[in-house]
A and B are shown apart, each in its own frame.
Chain A
Amino acid sequence: MSALEIKHLFGLRGVSKHDIRLILDHAKQFREILERPVKKVPSLRGMTVVNLFFENSTRTRTSFELAEKRLSADTVNFTSSNSSVKKGETLVDTLRNIEAMKIDIVVVRHKGTGVPKFLADNSNAIIVNAGDGAHEHPTQALLDMLTVEEKLGTLEGKNVTIIGDIRHSRVARSNLWGMSTMGAHVTLCGPSTLVPRNTDLMNHVMWEPDVKKAVENADAIIALRLQKERMDDALLPSMREYRNTFGITQELLDCAKDKVIIMHPGPINRGVELDSDIADGEHSVILDQVTNGVAVRMAVLFLLAGGRNNENA
């Protein structure tokens, strides 16, 4: 088995095509395992994974936890709401204390850009980024890529359009790096207050302000979740106007290809970024994304752990 070039997963910017391919291929194998009656493999038996979540999360943490359990790892959940962080403990002290308990892998989510790298610089554990600020959310992008490959056969040459709050989206950033590396053509579209102001370092993707033009050649559309805080911060006038301008509606979908797939990282604001009939309709692959999330996270953990016991996978 080939090994990953990366030692940690901080993000997808700079991750090679080889590594992404390896993760996706393994994820496909794990996806098959998830369909079996017995969904568990002993790949990470004896290893301990800590899910270090400083931000609220239900689905990502659950998905990671399930992936860890499917790989037979011992898992510990650590959330800031019930931790010593509330008592003023520093990030590095928290990590060192956890590390002293002989853990092997840390899955971390934090509001600050670069926290996973910071933790890697200050510990011996393998670090997996489960979302750092508006920087990256690599496993979400990997599961999006797996879903595109599963539904469309390949990423190479496919047109993927991401619509919504690009500026504050770690999902969008990871997707634009990862999908571009794998040969997809990424188009970004959103209100002018919610797209990055300086795109010099992201000039490998297309920027399309007109949502109809953005979707017309798309093979896959990713609608991003719109945070209510954006209205409070005067970045948008109303959910209503957003829905009417950038929401995925049947009218908008009529401008797209017949076999376009609709994705969303969840949780969905129904009737805002995505109409209910679209979210539940024939184009939607949102629940496949959720299933693929577990498979991708199994692959990431398995490969970063060194592929130990890979014959059992």
Chain B
Amino acid sequence: MKMRKPCKGRVSNVVLKNAKFWNGTSFEHRREVCLNACKNVETTEFDCKGALVMPALFGLGLDFMEPLRDDVYTFFDGFAAMHKGGFYGGLYESAANPIDDADKFTAMVNRFKSEEFGESEFDIKFLGAYSKGFGTDSLAEMVELAEAGVAGFGDGNGVIPHSRFIRLAMEYGKMTGKRFFFQPMDKTLRHSGCVHEGAYSDMLGMKGIPRIAETIAAYTILEMARFLQVPVHFKQVTCGETLELVRNARKNNIDVTCDVGLYHLLLDDSCLETLDSAYHILPPIRSAADREALWQGVADGTVDAISMNHTPVLRQDTVVNFEDSVPGALSLEVALPAIWNKLVKRVGESRAIELLSTAPARLVGSVPATDNVVVFAPDRPHVVVEGDFAGHVCNSPLVGKTLPSSILATYINSVWTEL
């Protein structure tokens, strides 16, 4: 088993030499840039050897499992992953830990800012639950949650409960002015599916989740949003049909935003042929045509952000056959090296940074600090090993794969981390 490793970062002033710095519109070469943390700390000099220095990232879909599943992952692990991956903040929503009242929210904030975790200065925004325990019996105290400071209300990535409850939740939550975050998935159409319903699932005899499980749920939510005039966000859209619903909704002045998951842009369902549980991700990785539709949505602006859906899973829950494995994948540590070159090729550097940093931050009202940066070598390949991941879990389909790029160092909240 991989052992828990301490974060190697240290508070430091930093002098970055010989790097291409992002100036807001392009990368420009500068011989030396000083990033100052504070007085009375050492100064680190780092020769970037022509690498890029870009704004740190903001991750949608963070789940560090605390407090109920701290046997799997902790804030400590999550923050280490953020340092490694170059994230200054993120949107936190834990399926195992619904924040359904203000006390839980306060306890969560106090915990992640506690001394135990180095009085974290990460810009973590929290999604409150719109219902008690992500169930369908009682509404959560959304007004108090909003006053306490949640960024919006979410479903814990659970399947959409019955429509009347959604209506009531959105109707009540409208008072807060907050956005509702849904992962659209119709429970009955999903049934017991665990992979994309397509040629590979049928060839392999695996139970599939059809696209209409997503689109019908998305359509229901958009109708609610139109009817109730409540802003909504779709998490991890997986197919072009849902993006088409988003486009049409926007034409009708419905306030809808959406993101796509990192792995949904990187993979398609041909990976199922390996029967490797590392590819067990929900919502499911869909076909190559769906992936291409997502890329088109990224390019034409339909997609607002790329989400991380960072989901730790214990090794014993992945070292089983595919259908019995617990779905989920880590992404923070590998996201930038895995997606950067593809993203730049499709949308250019400026939009790539927007999709990974400013746009997801804007969705939840985060304002990035200019000194948070990632030193990144886009042409230096990196073979992903288990040790790249923070904590004692390493569930990622990219383990063993060669990524085209490498993160050389990150500077987040005055902490310098060389990789």
* CB pair B205 A133 closer than 8 Å: yes
How many whole Å from A169's CB to the nearest CB in chain B? Answer: 8
Interface centre among B199, B204, B205, B320 (most CB of A within 10 A): B205
Contact of B321 among A115, A136, A201, A202 (CB under 8 A): A115
- Contact A170-B198, Cβ < 8 Å, known A90-B319, A118-B320, A133-B323: no
How many whole Å from A265's CB to the nearest CB in chain B? Answer: 15
- Contact A90-B206, Cβ < 8 Å, known A198-B197, A201-B200: no
Q: How far is the CA of A210 from the CA of B212 in the complex (A)?
A: 28
How many whole Å from A296's CB to the nearest CB in chain B? Answer: 21
Q: How far is the CA of A168 from the CA of B322 in the complex (A)?
A: 17
Interface centre among A113, A173, A199, A202 (most CB of B within 10 A): A113
How many whole Å from B193's CB to the nearest CB in chain A? Answer: 12
Residue-wise interface mask of A (110-132) relative to B, using a CB-CB cutoff of 8 A (1 in contact, 0 not): 11111101100010000000000
Contact of A134 among B198, B206, B275, B320 (CB under 8 A): B206
Chain A: interface residue total (CB-CB under 8 A): 29
Residues on the B chain within 8 Å of A231, using CB: none
Q: How far is the CA of A114 from the CA of B80 in the complex (A)?
A: 35
* CB pair A135 B205 closer than 8 Å: yes
Q: B192 — nearest CB in chain A belongs to which residue?
A: A233
- Contact A168-B205, Cβ < 8 Å, known A90-B316, A91-B320, A112-B321: yes
In the complex, chain B residues 185-216 whose Cβ is within 8 Å of any chain A Cβ: 197-206, 208
- Contact A114-B321, Cβ < 8 Å, known A135-B204, A173-B205: yes
Q: CB of A311 within 8 A of chain B?
A: no
Q: B320 — nearest CB in chain A belongs to which residue?
A: A91
Q: CB of B70 within 8 A of chain A?
A: no
Q: CB of B379 within 8 A of chain A?
A: no
Q: How far is the CA of A61 from the CA of B287 in the complex (A)?
A: 37
Q: A117 — nearest CB in chain B belongs to which residue?
A: B275
Contact of A201 among B199, B206, B275, B323 (CB under 8 A): B199
Residues on the B chain within 8 Å of A202, using CB: 199, 202-203
* CB pair B320 A198 closer than 8 Å: no
- Contact A133-B199, Cβ < 8 Å, known A90-B319, A114-B275: no
Interface centre among B202, B208, B323 (most CB of A within 10 A): B202
Residue-wise interface mask of A (81-121) relative to B, using a CB-CB cutoff of 8 A (1 in contact, 0 not): 00000000011100000000000000000111111011000
Residues on the B chain within 8 Å of A117, using CB: 275
* CB pair B323 A113 closer than 8 Å: yes
Q: How far is the CA of A33 from the CA of B15 in the complex (A)?
A: 82
* CB pair B275 A198 closer than 8 Å: no
How many whole Å from A86's CB to the nearest CB in chain B? Answer: 15
* CB pair B275 A113 closer than 8 Å: yes
Contact of B199 among A13, A112, A173, A198 (CB under 8 A): A198
Q: CB of B244 within 8 A of chain A?
A: no
Residues on the B chain within 8 Å of A133, using CB: 205-206, 323
Chain A positions within 8 Å of B, measured between CB atoms, are 13, 90-92, 110-115, 117-118, 122, 133-136, 167-170, 173, 196-202
Chain B positions within 8 Å of A, measured between CB atoms, are 197-206, 208, 275, 316, 319-324
Can you list 21 contacts pairing A with B, beta carbon distance less than 8 Å? A13-B203, A90-B316, A91-B320, A92-B319, A113-B205, A114-B275, A117-B275, A118-B275, A118-B320, A122-B319, A134-B206, A135-B204, A169-B205, A170-B205, A173-B205, A196-B203, A197-B208, A198-B198, A201-B200, A201-B202, A202-B202
